[in-house]
Structure 1
């Protein structure tokens, strides 16, 4: 097994991933307020206070699980693209991790979400023997996110319905869970 990439900073040909720092609440605020980004997440972007709390929670997660969590995604010239996430239970080292991503609208449709997601799948399965499965969850109607997961080799595992006090449009179609196992991922690499 090759040495694992440094979880503090990883990269592809077009994306550099780095750990969050406290001031990144400003970048997350910019992302959350970008038109269309919150469509499948919430009715409105979270407040600055909530984003600051979220960033601190992400940084605290690194202490417990230094190899996983959320990364800021930047282009090769340092431009802020969005974020990627590979995380699991906060209680124990899980055999299943959840993949997530969120990009600024101006970077949609360029293959960057797929590129970053593939990087994290390779990182999870090549360098962490306890990881057996990676999942991704989105709204059924979020075709862009579903397409990214499919391009990464993930398959639709189930559709399920949650109850929300103030549901988003499309909630009635449910949520979808995509997954890929380590064995499935390895077969795709040959």
Structure 2
């Protein structure tokens, strides 16, 4: 099932999410639906608030970052080849290393991108869809994707990290997204509309 993506301005994107219990939901079905929704929107990550659910779940599939672009001189990031996971009840335990910039975007904020600085390493504890618990460390792009999606679970968005001037420049575009005045290649749910 493909969910509509919740657009910027919806209050659910600003609410801290709730931990879930083992048998509270069909986690395998939710995970499948979230991957289907994310792939349908050409994303590499999707958090539950982005489909209107106030729970601590996100999915990632960084395969697009592992493929070499014909127009790009950079080598593909082979560490991202099999980086497809569901994170349930995740908790970031550590973030460290040199902060580096990368131009981020978000499915809930189509058409807007901006450089965000994040630490290069993250240590995270989470459960999978079989309720197995893991504690793992990630670096580089994998760490960034996790940090971006984890922020959604805290009610934070990448635009919160942008410099004040950039925020002023995109203010009108953000207002347009809230009103539904935006083009996207996927179905969206806008605040005030059902």
TM over 0.5: no
TM-score (norm 1): 0.27
Give the structure-2-normalised TM-score.
0.27
Tell which has more relative contact order, 1 or 2 (C-alpha 8 A, sep 6+). 2
